[in-house]
Amino acid sequence: MKRCLALCAAVILIEDNSVVVNTVQKKAIYRIVIWILLFFSVYILITLAPTLSQSKYLPSDDFVPYWAGGKLNLVGENPYDAQKKESVQIAAGGEPSSKYPIAIMLSPPWALPIVMPLSALDYPLSRLIWLLISIACLVICAQLLWRFNKGSPQKLWIALVAILIFGPTISVLESGQFTPLILLGITGFLFFTISHQNDWVAGACLALATIKPQVAFIFWIALLFWVIKECRWKIIISCFVTILLMTLIAMAFNHHIIQQYLGMMENSYIPQLATPTIGAYIRFFWLGIDKFWLQFVPAIFAGLWFLVYWKKHGNSWVWLYELPILLFVSQISAPYTYTYDQVILMPAIILAIIWLVAAKLRWSTIIFACVFIGITILDLILHMRLDDFWFIWMAPTLFIWFLLIRRQYSISEINSWR
């Protein structure tokens, strides 16, 4: 009997050791694959950077106004001056504006300290660094959101693949827009509100999201209601102080930056832009391009919707569950946004992927995954031939996709969040 027990114990020990060995081998293989992908990604980025810095890309790349604006502000010049921006652009290898409309920096003064260190560098190097920063922001946000929503660590790669093939992700990296930093600010707010309970740092993170407040404006309304209800005034104070400090840094180089920004906004070309928004469609197709106030009508209705939504859910508010809805409604009704701004929908996409991975409905999971891939492929193909103005369908389609997945998910688990 003792020999049998000893033999069983030996077998169990051997099996345990084999499991440990297999686990170690899997981790080693996983690390090797990650490093191969990392080196491959760096190679692609190094190859891509010279392409993005060619003169034919300078008129269309949105990073150019940031880089030129930062360079002008460093020497005390007006970063919102179109002619001065063109001079900097030509010096970087661009062409005269007779061949394209001049794009100027529309971001507020407190965004300049972010780009000014890069503006001190040559354009090709600064563009490569900006690309790396944007990718890092997206990867960090994906990992944090996956962890917040209790996704399986072994399945994290699914979320990373989904985010990196997402159409707006590719568009925002190609254009060099600020939106990855907006997403980082919102994710940082979640991190320091949920995990670390540090309202001062949470508010400082939100200062990043104020660079483009229109892309998530319902979130800001919800934040105000939540802060009042929970008496979390440190978040608002910290956000305001951070904005003030960043503005003072910009003013240290250019004392007239506030007046220059207000002057640019007063005479900006924003009312002439054809954006993929409901308000723009109402103007351009029905009631007149000159009626810019129509851009804000959908946002007003969205604000009224939120009042009803808050009355129903305010007492059981959970940011992880409510944020995706707020971001979708913001993108659908925003007065001014583009499809690359939809990268801020990552919290919704990550949550949907977690639900799909956890679901036992295999066929529905495959269908939903195929729909997501189909939307991305359609977005990328159509963008080769069509202007962004024609992509008003994308945010509502993704919203329907998200709601259908949420409906398939366990109601009991959803209710446990509240």
Mapped to the 3 state alphabet, what secondary structure does the chain carry? CHHHHHHHHHHHHHHHHHHHHHHHHHHHHHHHHHHHHHHHHHHHHHHHHHHHCCCCCCCCCCHHHHHHHHHHHHCCCCCCCHHHHHHHHHHCCCCCHHHCCCCCCCCCHHHHHHHHHHHCCCHHHHHHHHHHHHHHHHHHHHHHHHHHCCCCHHHHHHHHHHHHHCHHHHHHHHHCCCHHHHHHHHHHHHHHHHHCCCHHHHHHHHHHHCCCHHHHHHHHHHHHHHHHHHCCHHHHHHHHHHHHHHHHHHHHHCCCHHHHHHHHHHCCCHHHCCCCCHHHHHHHHHHCCCCHHHHHHHHHHHHHHHHHHHHHHHHHCCHHHHHHHHHHHHHHHCCCCCHHHHHHHHHHHHHHHHHHHHCCCHHHHHHHHHHHHHHHHHHHHHHCCCCHHHCCCHHHHHHHHHHHHHHHCCHHHHHHHC
Q: Is residue 189 part of a domain?
A: yes
Q: How many domains does the chain have?
A: 1
pLDDT winner (highest mean) among 22-31, 59-68, 279-288? 279-288
Q: Is residue 94 part of a domain?
A: no
Q: Is residue 186 part of a domain?
A: yes
Please give the residue range of the domain that contains residue 189. Answer: 107-263+272-417
Q: Is residue 303 part of a domain?
A: yes
Q: Is residue 16 part of a domain?
A: no
Q: Is residue 44 part of a domain?
A: no
More confident residue, 24 or 215: 215
Q: Is residue 335 part of a domain?
A: yes
Predicted local confidence at residue 35, as pLDDT = 57
Percent of the chain with pLDDT over 70: 80
- Stretch 198-220: mean pLDDT: 95
Q: Is residue 383 part of a domain?
A: yes
Lowest mean pLDDT among 24-38, 105-119, 241-255: 24-38
